[in-house]
Chains A and B, each alone.
Chain A
């Protein structure tokens, strides 16, 4: 079974703090993704990575950065957290390039920025 884990299920941070969200997958997948989920908006792609040290912006990259130093790990960084970044963050991975590849998701991190 594919396993995608995220470092925290719940996080509470203060405005201006630097926040790291970690994601690890154990299936040797090439692609990894970060989404945020907000009520009424569904899932929106923040960033994705198709290889180590490679990254591409998704639909809403502003205020975020990412790091992929190892194939199995993909980190999302909020350089200076703001209250409008309070959300559910979901990490996903897929095997390789192609429309048909299924994305497998982690359990999510609920982030509250005060």
Chain B
């Protein structure tokens, strides 16, 4: 069965600290995609990144970086020098079984960045 686990329910950091959000997934598919979304208090899920199972290169986008490790089935997200505007709920998702359009979402991690 496919599953996404975000074990951290809530994290609080002080502004300018670095923070890593963990995501562990389970799948039997050899081809799959992983996603991260940000949900600010306004409610809309904002797409951050998509990564396919054949590309294990880490990705950096400004203060955001992602570490994909197939050996540990993890796709972790790090925010460097956090800011108050980073406060949100972050969801990790896994593409569903072949032939479906489903995503499997984790339960989300609420990040609070304190000024």
Contact = CB atoms under 8 A, between A and B. Distances in A.
Interface residues of B, number: 24
Interface stretch (A41-49, A63-71, A78-86): A41-49
Contact of A103 (B43, B103, B108): B103
A38 to B, nearest CB: 10
B101 A42 contact: no
Contacts of A88: 43
B91 A43 contact: yes
| Chain B interface main SS type | loop
| A interface bracket (residues with beta carbon within 8 Å of B) | 20 to 34
A34 interface: no
B107 A41 contact: yes
B99 to A, nearest CB: 9
Contacts of A110: 43
A77 B35 CA distance: 28
B87 interface: no
Given A42-B91, A42-B107, A58-B102, A102 B45 contact: no
